[in-house]
Structure 1
Amino acid sequence: MQSGKAQKIWSWILLIVGVPYIISILLAPIMQITHMAINKIISMFVIALMAGVIEELLFRGLLFNSLLSFFYHNKNRFLIAGLISSILFGCMHLINLTHQPLQSTVGQVIFAFTTGIILIYLRLLSNNIVWCMVLHFFIDFKPVILTSNTGSHNISLVKVFLAVLPLMILTIICLWLFNRHYVQTNK
């Protein structure tokens, strides 16, 4: 499906704003793994690969498709299904309360929600879940995944929220524009 003009413009804005985040996601592990033992790198790789594949199949595959079917007659079905699946993806990270501080977990939930809506939009644009799996793998492929505290209790939640807020807003706008364009072209 072709994108509308407004959606293309907002998608480019999202890409430009998201580039620093993407670069930090891709470069941080490279800098950190240079001094790691090979068995830890392999463990990190396997965990990130499993999380990327399984979580994407569940949230951007099964759940998102089920929600699209459930909201089939709603004109905002892509937006609603995307937001609900992203909220549930974020809430799934509440399980980390069993082994890390509340502040770290809440920060993860905020980050996971934002990542979830970005991955939904990527899935819709590409009409393919594989790119979501690849991006999810790179997000998780870092040494902290091997520890019991995958968040940071030293960073205030306000800073976490403000750091992801621009991406959150831009992605929701892009998702809304995708939904609007879909409705207009399929009348």
Structure 2
Amino acid sequence: MLAAGVGLFLVYNAVMLYLYDASEWLVASIDAVIALISLGITWWTLKSFKLFSQRPKFSRSMKIWGLIALVTVMIMMILNGFFQNLPLLFGSNDFWLITVIALATGIFEETLCRGLFFSGFLDHTLYNGSSFRFTRSAIYSAFLFGGFHFVNFLGGNPAVVFQQMFWAFVLGVFLAALRVATNTLVWGILLHSLLDWVPSISGPIRQSGTSWWELIAVFGPIFIASLIFLVSADQRYLKIPAENA
């Protein structure tokens, strides 16, 4: 699983570098094809998008912290102007281009990071008898997800790219928790696509960032709530084997 994920990532970046000066629609089309290939490979490798044949009931702690994590993500979307930008998005001449890119990004990155990598790390922690399997796997896969944004150094402001890597790591932990909570990749793909469904997605990398204090204030609660949820899940599921782990 991990090898397949690394291979997909390397192929994707090689193709994107080759298409650096290509038209936006050509890049979006190739993005979509690679995303569908990643979806197929993930399904074929994992045999299912489920972690459990039947999801166990949530503990009280899991319900509370899962809800807090979800609310903090909604607050982040509001502060980031997602809902305010919807009229601009629907009125944009690039609406379909933006939509294709957002869906392709959501499918590719979720099947890769929360699919192959997360399940791969789960398999590794199970084999080695490690404790806190979900928590460890979420953090490891989130580190990779954040690290993938390292390629943005090729055309972006280093300070902004480091911030992208930070919030990508935090969202990676949350999205892993979402997969555990929903027992599927589908909701993670949809949410990830929504987060990328913004008017600027087809434009250049932002060259201006925000303050680290603001980032920590917004993303810190998401990380803490997601982490506590995952720890609670590890304690709850301690004796329940994961289907793909």
Number of residue pairs matched by the alignment: 183
Alignment of 1:121-136 (within 5 A): 121-136=177-192
Identity %: 26
Q: 2:123 aligns with which of 69, 77, 81?
A: 69
Corresponding position of 2:157: 101
Corresponding position of 1:169: 224
Q: Which has the higher helix share?
A: 1
1-structure distance, mates of 2:159, 2:91 = 29
After superposition, the CA RMSD in angstroms is 1.8
Change (3 A) 1:162 1:70: same
Structure 2 residue identity aligned to 1:111: W
Q: Deviations over 1:47-80 (max 9, x none)?
A: 1111100111100001111110000021211110
1:30 shift after superposition: 0.7
Aligned residues of 1:29 and 1:142 also touching (Cα < 8 A): yes
1:22 shift after superposition: 4.2
Corresponding position of 1:180: 235
Change (3 A) 1:51 1:182: same
Corresponding position of 2:215: 160
Corresponding position of 1:14: 69
| Bigger Cα Rg | 2
Aligned residues of 1:25 and 1:139 also touching (Cα < 8 A): no
Give the structure-1-normalised TM-score.
Answer: 0.89
Q: Which moved more, 1:3-12 or 1:76-85?
A: 3-12
Aligned residues of 1:52 and 1:137 also touching (Cα < 8 A): yes
- Is 1:110 aligned to residue 110 of structure 2? no
Q: 1:120 aligns with which of 176, 184, 196?
A: 176
1-structure distance, mates of 2:67, 2:109 = 27
Give the structure-2-normalised TM-score.
Answer: 0.69
Q: 2:99 aligns with which of 20, 24, 45?
A: 45
SS at match of 2:224: helix
Aligned residues of 1:25 and 1:138 also touching (Cα < 8 A): no
2-structure distance, mates of 1:18, 1:59 = 19
Q: Deviations over 1:117-144 (max 9, x none)?
A: 1110110111100111000000001122
Change (3 A) 1:16 1:140: closer
Structure 1 residue identity aligned to 2:213: V
Aligned residues of 1:79 and 1:179 also touching (Cα < 8 A): yes
2-structure distance, mates of 1:86, 1:152 = 24
Which ranges in structure 2 are unaligned for 5 or more consecutive residues? Answer: 1-55
Structure 2 residue identity aligned to 1:175: L
1-structure distance, mates of 2:240, 2:209 = 48
Corresponding position of 2:112: 58
SS at match of 1:183: coil
Q: 2:197 aligns with which of 131, 141, 162?
A: 141
SS at match of 1:71: helix
Q: Deviations over 1:63-106 (max 9, x none)?
A: 11111000002121111001000111011111111111011111
